[in-house]
Each structure stands twice: as C-alpha cells, then as structure tokens.
Amino acid sequence: TGGVWLKGRDLELRWQPAALLRGRIAVTSLSAAVVDMARLPVAGKSSGGGGLAGRLSAWRVDVARLSVPELNLGAALAGAPTTLNLAGAAHLHGFARGGVALKATAGQGGADYTLDARMDPQTVFASLRAVEPGGGLLARLAGLRAQGPLRLDATLAGPRGGAALRFDAALGAARLSGTGTLGLNPRSPRADVVFDLPALAPVGALAGQVVAGSATVHLVAAARDGGVHLALSGATVLTAGPYGLARLTGPAGQFSLDADLRGRVLEIARFDASGAAFQLSASGRMAPAAVNLQMQLALPRLGAFFPGISGSAGGTGSITGAPGDFTARAVLTGNAAEKAIPSGPFSLVFEARHLPRMPEGTLTASGALENAPLTLDAAFARDAKGGVVFSVRKAVWRSLDARADLALAPGAALPTGTAQLSIGRLDDFARFAPLPLGGRVAADFSYSAGKILRLKLDAQNLVAARNFGAVDAVLTAAGPAAALAVRAQASTRALGPAPARMALAGVVDLETRTATLAALTASWRQVDARLRGPAVIVARSGVVARHLALGVNGGRVELDGMLTPRLDAKVSVQNLPARLAGLFMPGLKATGTLAGRAALSGRLAAPVGQVSFSARDIKLQAGPGAALPPVDLSASATVMDRTARVKAVLSAGAQVELAAEGVVPFNAAGAMNLHVAGRGDLRLLDPVLAARDAMARGMVAADMTLTGTPDAPLATGSATLADGSVQDISTGLNLTHMTARVQAAGQMLTLQGFQATAGAGRITGQGMVDLGGAGLPLDLTLDAANASPIASDNLSGSVDAALTLTGALRGRLLLAGNVDIKKAEINLSQPLPPRVADLPIVNEGSPPPPAPPPPPDVALDLRVSGRNQIFVRGAGVFAELGGGVHITGTLAAPNPEGGFELIRGYVSLTGKTLNFTKGSVSFNGAGFMPALDLEATSTGSGNSTATLIVGGTAAKPVMTLSSVPPLPSDEILAQLLFGQSTTSLSPFQTASLAAALAQLSGVGGGLPNPLDSVRGALGLSQLSLSSNASGPPSVEAGRYVAPGVYLGAAQATNGQGTQATVEINLTKGLKLQSSTGTSRTGNSSSVGLTYQFNY
C-alpha cells in the first residue's frame, strides 16, 4: 500500500552462488546508477517464524562493494529532496559479529557522512562523522530549522559491557559534547553519559531567545525490574534569560530526576529543581489511562524576580485525571511588601476542570499585595462547540479597577457584553514589568449582537518603551459591526530624536474584516505624509491593500495588492526627495529625487516580478563630496526565485559612466554572474583633493565580470589607467604620463604594468593581490631609474630604486629594497621676520579636528645610500653629505641605522665664512622633509669653544649658538667670526656682528641667493663667495666630474691667489685630497688622506 517507494536504474549484482552451500551470502559488488527512495516501506503482517531477520541470523553476509552514485531521498523521507553519493561495504555474521563501512556525500553544499563500525562478542567499535551545511539532512531529520552548519564527531570503543563513548556536536555556534560509557549487553543494557553545553547563548539563539550561561547533565539509565531506571542530574549557570529566569536560577541552578519507565508508564519518584530564588519538587505517575502529579513551589525571595519587592511566596499544585479529561489546581500564598514595609498575606487560587477540550474554572485572589488590598474574582468556560465565556466580577488593586462580562461565540470576530478598565497610575505595575511603565489608561467597551458597538481607549502620558517618549493617544469606535466608525490620534514627544504625530479616520467592517481609510496624516522629523484618497485594507485570509496612496514631502507613494499570505502587489514611488534618505543614513545630506516601481508576486520569502528604480540629480550637501557633480542612477531588475537579473547605469555628468548587468543572488551563498563596465575621469576628484593641495588626472576604465558567490567572488576582466598624473604640493610629489593595467582572473588581481614619468626618469611596477587567500596576500614590486618623484622648493633630486611590498592587506606588510640617491638638493627656506606670527584659526562652535588615522601596519627593511652629491643650500648654508641608512622597524616607529654624514660645507654670516666641522641629514618620518644637524665649531682664547648649529627641517631651519664655558650670544658669535672677544672688535667688526645676530634671528626676512641661479645655469655643484678674518674675499666653484670625484677651483677677488682642488671619496669617511695653486707667498701643492667621523 502507499504506492511505489523504491525505484532503481542500471542495477548490477555480482555474487557467488556456491557460497550458499557454506551458509554464506557472498556479494562481490552491488551497484545502481540511480536509486529513488520516496519513503520508508509500509510494515506488512508478520508471517511468523521470527521473520527474515530471524532466518538470516545464522548466515554470514558479505558485501564487498556497495555503490550508488545517485541516491535520491524524497521529501517525505528527508524533509526535502536530497541527493547523495553512497559507497561502502558490509560483513555480518549474525547479530554478534561484523562490520559496516559507509560514506555518503552531497554534491551541493559539501555534506559528508562517514560511518565505520565493527563488533564481536567481546568488543565494539564505531565512528561516526558528519559535516553538512545549514538546513542539511541530519538537521531536517532532527527538526532543526537553523541555517547554521552542522558537525558531528562520535566514537564508541571498548568492551561490549562498557564501551567508552565520546562525541562532539556543533550546530552553527551552538556546541554539545559528551563522554561516558554504553553497555550493549542485551541482558543488561546501560548508559552513563555526561552532556556538556559550554555556552547557552547560541542554543537560545536557535530558539529565538536571549540566553547566556552554561549547563551540564548527567544521565544514568539501566535495566531494572522489566523496565528502565532513569537517574538524571545537572547544573546550570544562567546569567541571562527570558521572563526573569536568570534572576530565579542564578549561577548555581541544580536539578535531578529519579524515575522508572516500564512500557508506557513513567513513575516519578522525585523531581527536584532549585536556583537562587526558587525550589520546585514533583512526584507522581504518568500512564495512558491516568495522570497523577503533585508539585510544590517555594519562592523565598520575591525581590530576585521583582526588584523593589520584598517578601516570599510558596504554593502547591496538582494534575489529576485522564489525559483527555483532567483537572489542574494551584494555590499560591505569600506576602509581598514595597520598600521593606510589612504587608498582609495574599492568596491566589487557580482551578481548571475538563482540560484540555472543555475547560472551565476560576481564578481568585484575596489579601494584600504591597500593603494594598487585593481582590480578584474571575471565571471562564469553553463549551464543546468552541464558545467561550469570561467574566471578571471584580478586580481591584491600587489604581486598577476592572470588570468584564464577555462571551465569544464560535466563529465570531468580537465578543458580546461589557468591559471596563481603569488604571490611574501605570507605575503601580512598574516593579512587575520588564519595561518601564507610566501614565494612565482607561477603556470602555460594550456590544450586543446586531446592535451598536462602542469602544473608547484613552492613554495619557503613556510610557511603555525605552526608545519612545510619553504617548498621548485616543481611539474611539462607534456603530454597527458592519460599519464601525473609527477615529484615532496619537502623539509622542520623542520618537527617537524627534516628536511624532499621527491621526486617522475610517470605517471598519468587522464581519468582512475590511477597513476603509478616509483620512491619514503623520509627521516625524523631516517626513510629512498624508493620505491622497480613500484606501481599503482587507484582513481576512491574508492582508490586502487597495488604492493606498500617500503624499510624502511633495512626492507620492502608492501600494495596491495582496501582501500576505502570498504576495501579489504593486508599489510605486514618485518624486520622493532624496534628503529623506538621511533618516536611514545619519549624516547624509543630499538633494535630488527618487522614484521607483515594483510588481511582485509569489511567496514572501522568494518573490518574483519586476522592479525599477531611479535617482536624479543626487547631490551631496555636506562633506568633501559636496563639490562633486550631481549623480544620476537608473536600475531595473527581474526578480526570480531568490535571484534578480539586474541592469543599472550610473553617471555623474560627463566624467563618470558605469553600467552593470547580470544576475545577483539574495543571499551571500547564491551564484552570481554580473558584468560591470565603465569609465571615470579623475578630474572628478578635484573638489576632494584640492582641499589637500593635491591633484589627480587621467582616465580609468573597467570591464569586469563577477561570478562565484558574494561570499567567494570570482572576477575576470581588466581595469586600466591612461594619461594619468598625480601632484601633491605639500610633499612635492609629481608623477606624470602614468599608465596601469590590472587584470582579474578568479580571485587573483594582477598589476600587469604600471609606468610613470618622474622628472627625467621613470617608475615602473607590477604585482598581485590574492582575494581568496587568508588576509588578502599582496606581492608588489616597484622600480625607479633616474627618477625624480619629489620636486619642491625644499627638496629635489633623482634616485634609482628597487622596492618590494609583500605580506597581507589585512595583516602585516613588509616594505623592503634599496634606494640609491644619485643627487639630492635640500634648499633651506628663508625665515620670515619674527614679527610675523602664525595664528591658528579656530571657528567658534566647531568640533576639534579628528585625530589622524594610525599608519598602516608596515614593517621596514630599506637600505638608502647616497655616496655624495647630497647638497644642503640656502640661508647662508652650504653642505655636501654622503652615506647610507638601513631603516628597520615599522612605518609608525622607524629605526634608522647609519646616516648621511658631512663631506664639506660652511655657513656664511655677513660675508664671513664658517666651515662645518661635522653634520648629518636624516628623514624622521615626517613626510619627505629632511631634518638637519650641521655644526661649526671654533676654539678661541682661554680654551673656550664656540659652536653654531643648523638644525630644524629644510622648511623651518633653526640656527642656535652655544659655547663651553657658557657665553652670551654676541660673545659666541664674535669668537666664531673674528676669533676674539667683543671688547676687542673694531667698529666695522661690531657692525658686522650686529648684522650677523640679526640674520640669525630672522630680522629682515630673506631673499633668494642670486648665486644659486648662476650655479644652476652653469651646471656647477658649488658656487659661492666667501671670506675670512685675514684675507680678501674669494670666489669658489666646483662640480662632480665622475661618481665620487670632485673638481674645484678658488680665485681671490684681488687676483693674487688661485687654487685647484681634487677630492676622491674612497670609502665612507675616507677621502683622497690634492690641491695646487698660488698665493701672495708663492706656489703650493699638497696630497693627503682624511678620515672623518661623528662622535
């Protein structure tokens, strides 16, 4: 009966018939290309003789190979159609010896099930492993609707009388593990297992509840007196839970059960549960014919459940009778006081008979609650046809006064009778409610069948939610049930950040469950909505809206069609102001209009239909994007089963065009196939970059196809940059003629070629990013040849470089390589006069500027070298340096080793020249601005030492004076310039000294040195005019004629002295020097080695 339950195709059986003579069924191979199993077979009548299992128990069965590549399980069997690839083998000898090995996989979703089991008369071994995605086979069979993946690992090994059991199961984030023993002896089976739930929060999430804590359960089950004895014990730690359970149970909940199960009869010797604020015990018997349970409850501290209440309560309860007609009775007594003020006792009695089909009973209460009289007298009944009668003869406590006499006929939409409710102070109940309560409520209802219904509900200063302000609301209804005139208005002082108002009027037909809206207005923040015409809402077998049209801030929103249980509706939006988007995206201020249409049908979870959307002249009004041109967007989609075929076009004037077309899923695991193409002009960024003194040019074009899933996207195509350039005035960065191409293949992005012109040289690069790798692995290389990427008033030069950037974008990166400085010019800015003050401007009321973001996590391994031709010029300073730096550490905290040391140099003050004795230049991480440390020292009479230091940065150089022993600034400068005290200076020297002090302090500002223009035009490395205290001024000039080889010449202005100099840099700090020339005293020549180091 029930039709065909099993079908197969291409079945093949290979076996050995001769083995039957030896009592063995030997199957070499059992296979089928396809097996369809719609359901389990219907059990037939037994023919006696112990059945097939009894007849086969003495046979040995061997199946060497089982193969079903396509096993289709029907929805009636697996909860949903499921296809498995099944393979395995089995060897059985009766029911005491054998082994089974099975493996099943699902092609979609990655499900994998493996079973390996063996046993003999003394031992048993079994291993089960299952891995499946959310909503898989095992989850459906267990009735679990959660979508999280399921994982199960279980082993059983050891003697059959007490094999060790260990298992670990996870469903999403929920986890259950256990250990124990199982006795599989048929005469004395037993189990002793400990279950552990380390975290209740994920388990509560599966049930839609907020729960936090942990639990352990110990189960012992053993055969006894023809049945099974159950001993259960456990402990819970509950830190959060619904209905105040966390306060009742607390961190030390305990429970235990001692019971016997014989057939279908459960004898409960004792059940106990306790926690921080309760004790519960029960005992009794549950059988198919009768139930008799007795329970006791104690609540020693009501304050644990209702904060602000003190006292205790306790009660008894019973359930007696047949399962189809039983009686439940409960009595609760105690005392509850407010603020520790003594209160009289209360008593609450509940009794219900003829449960569960035709219950009737009473609920009464008397005594005092929180020192206020309590009276409750209520009764209820339900007849065999389903009619219900409910009456409250009296309910009085504090400001509560309620009475009701109501009857609900079978199939009726409204009860008949009268009811009145008045609560003058809702805060009387605040201590018993999980939410804050306040205000007052009054309700009056009356209705007789076929006559006028009257209802009035009035709420003033109602507080019932933390995110709402006090609510004032009035609802009135009057008229026959088929034409009930309804009016309502409500207002709140705070709905989120702003007040809100709503008013409506209409007619309700309770018999057909239809409402006709005649008027509706609502306002909140920037939204003003008004009904544009009569609308009908029908709520019979579902919800249907007809001709619902709202005017919203000059726009229009329309809805027409069925919303539940199936969808068949049309929605349109016209001329909706884009500024309303700021309600859902705080901080967004935009102008423009939004419009759209949708026609959808089918299931709510998987609708189908057409959707279109457009946004016109969308322009941001705040932030860096305020200067961007308006944006237009148009999109359409054909919605299918959990996917949509979309087509969208975005444009921003003539500078951006982007189009997308293809299939996108509604979930992150669905398949997609989306083609994206477009172009953009980098001029679009001008309003944003201009505020940072930067500029970008070029055209970006992209042509990509995205496949895979949103969780694991795959891309094919390319993106290119043509005719690009980048300029940053603050740093001097200037790259032109930039081109780049990025190729996408799967989850790999490859930078196939990057080129840029930097001055007279070039920069090239290539590399890759793996979007599928852990942390997004990155591998980029950058090469520079005679490149001058930095050209500012303070720094220029050319470099060769070979750099790599490797690591992970979501982890740590490493910047490594070599930089060879071929030539560098560091030009010192002329100081402003000291009377010009730099005044920071702070606008009143403006927030402080945000802190700069931390630099990326980049480790450094850079070697920067410059053998020579690193020049420092300006403000009377000339210096040449060379050397190398090894930079380690991180971008946030670099650690340089080495430096660029002084080769030659001087500082000129009022025509006097001081040679630098030592110095260095470093880059301290503050952009590309070099830091200076140049020093000129002179030893005067009395072994005093005078020092001038040029420090600061190239943009803000600082000259300071010091001496040993300490001397005034004018005395130090006199020693440096003239080698004598200020008391011995001539009037001309005194005037020169005053001019030098003014130059050091910045008085008079500064003008560019005209010799720098001449030096640059002649292609010289050095050109200067210098003098000393004993001779006439002289002109010095020189340049590098080869790497590390400097040729210089000097000529006195009176024509009486010339000199030629050759310097060869041999190694770091070691130089070969030779000179020849004439002076007033005759000819002179010299050759020597010098070694210089800093100390």
User: Which residues, 6+ apart, have CB-to-CB distance to 1013 below 8 Å?
Assistant: none
Spatial CA neighbour of 415 closest among 449, 454, 455, 452 = 449
pLDDT in tens, 806-848: 999 888 899 999 999 888 888 876 554 444 444 555 555 556 6
Question: Can you spell out the DSSP letters for 965-1029?
Answer: S---HHHHHHHHHHSS-GGG--HHHHHHHHHHHHHHHTTT-----HHHHHHHHHT-SEEEEE--S
Boundary of a domain, candidates 1008, 1037, 1053:
1008
Q: Are strands 112-119 and 97-105 parallel, antiparallel or unpaired?
A: antiparallel
Spatial CA neighbour of 699 closest among 657, 651, 750 = 657
Boundary of a domain, candidates 979, 1008, 1037:
1008
Contact by Cβ (8 Å): 454, 480: no
1059 and 996 within one domain: no
What average pLDDT does range 1035-1062 have in this prediction? 65
884 and 824 within one domain: yes
How does DSSP classify residue 452? -
620 assigned to some structural domain: no
796 assigned to some structural domain: yes
pLDDT class for 414, splitting at 50, 70, 90? confident
Share of the chain above pLDDT 90, in %: 43
More confidently predicted of 1076 and 345: 345
> Dihedral of CA 245/247/251/256: which sign?
negative
Q: What is the pLDDT of residue 833?
A: 46
> Per DSSP, which regions of 184-308 are E strands?
190-197, 212-224, 227-240, 253-262, 265-275, 278-286, 291-299
* Structure-token match 């400068």, residue found: 973
873 assigned to some structural domain: yes
953 and 827 within one domain: yes
Q: Phi/psi at 1004 (nearest 5 deg)?
A: 90, 0
> Dihedral of CA 260/265/268/274: which sign?
positive
Q: How far apart, in whole angstroms, are the C-alpha atoms of residue 582 and residue 578? A: 8
More confidently predicted of 19 and 1007: 19
Q: What is the pLDDT of residue 802?
A: 95
Q: Is the link from the previous residue into 586 a cis peptide, with omega within 30 of 0?
A: no
907 assigned to some structural domain: yes
What's the total number of domains in the chain? Answer: 3
Characterise 1004 by phi-psi region: left (phi > 0), alpha (psi -120 to 50), beta (else): left
pLDDT in tens, 440-477: 999 999 998 778 999 999 999 998 777 778 899 999 99
Q: What is the pLDDT of residue 1006?
A: 46
1042 and 968 within one domain: no
Q: What is the pLDDT of residue 832?
A: 42
89 and 9 within one domain: yes
What average pLDDT does range 986-1003 have in this prediction? 66
Q: Helices 987-1001 and 969-978, interaxial angle, to 10°?
A: 120
1049 and 948 within one domain: no
Q: Is the pTM above the cut of 0.75?
A: no
Boundary of a domain, candidates 1008, 1027, 1057:
1008
Contact by Cβ (8 Å): 461, 442: no
More confidently predicted of 976 and 263: 263
1039 and 995 within one domain: no
Q: Phi/psi at 452 (nearest 5 deg)?
A: -80, 135
Q: What is the pLDDT of residue 1033?
A: 57
993 and 1031 within one domain: no
pLDDT of 50 over the 70 cut: no
Region of poorest pLDDT, from 1-10, 493-502, 742-751, 778-787: 1-10
Q: How far apart, in whole angstroms, are the C-alpha atoms of residue 862 and residue 897? A: 10
924 assigned to some structural domain: yes
N- to C-terminal Cα distance for the chain? 103
Contact by Cβ (8 Å): 793, 829: yes
More confidently predicted of 545 and 242: 545
Q: How far apart, in whole angstroms, are the C-alpha atoms of residue 1071 and residue 1091? A: 7
Spatial CA neighbour of 670 closest among 645, 639, 642 = 642
Q: How far apart, in whole angstroms, are the C-alpha atoms of residue 852 and residue 926? A: 13
What average pLDDT does range 272-277 have in this prediction? 91
Q: What is the pLDDT of residue 980?
A: 72
How does DSSP classify residue 599? E
Contact by Cβ (8 Å): 268, 259: yes
Q: Which helix (H) or strand (E) covers residue 901, if one does?
A: strand 894-909
Burial of residue 972 (CB within 10 Å: 0-12, 13-18, 19+) is buried
Q: What is the pLDDT of residue 1000?
A: 65
> Can you read off the two tokens belonging to residue 1031?
């001779």
> Can you read off the two tokens belonging to residue 635?
């999109």
Q: How far apart, in whole angstroms, are the C-alpha atoms of residue 272 and residue 257? A: 7
29 and 80 within one domain: yes
What average pLDDT does range 713-735 have in this prediction? 89
971 assigned to some structural domain: yes
> Can you read off the two tokens belonging to residue 238?
């509950």
Spatial CA neighbour of 885 closest among 894, 875, 874 = 894
How does DSSP classify residue 790? B
pLDDT class for 1007, splitting at 50, 70, 90? very low
What average pLDDT does range 342-368 have in this prediction? 90
1041 and 998 within one domain: no
What average pLDDT does range 593-599 have in this prediction? 95
How many CB atoms are closer than 10 A to CB 1012?
15
Tally the residues of the chain. 1095
User: Which residues, 6+ apart, have CB-to-CB distance to 537 below 8 Å?
Assistant: 514, 515, 516, 517, 543, 544, 545, 546, 548
Contact by Cβ (8 Å): 834, 1002: yes
Q: What is the pLDDT of residue 38?
A: 86
Q: Is 823 helix (H, G, I), strand (E, B) or coil?
A: strand
Q: What is the pLDDT of residue 899?
A: 77
pLDDT class for 1095, splitting at 50, 70, 90? very low
What average pLDDT does range 769-787 have in this prediction? 90
Region of poorest pLDDT, from 47-61, 590-604, 873-887, 978-992: 47-61
Q: What is the pLDDT of residue 146?
A: 57
989 and 1026 within one domain: no
874 and 806 within one domain: yes
Contact by Cβ (8 Å): 452, 479: yes
The residue segments making up the domain with residue 1056 are 1018-1095
> Dihedral of CA 919/924/926/928: which sign?
positive
922 assigned to some structural domain: yes
112 assigned to some structural domain: no
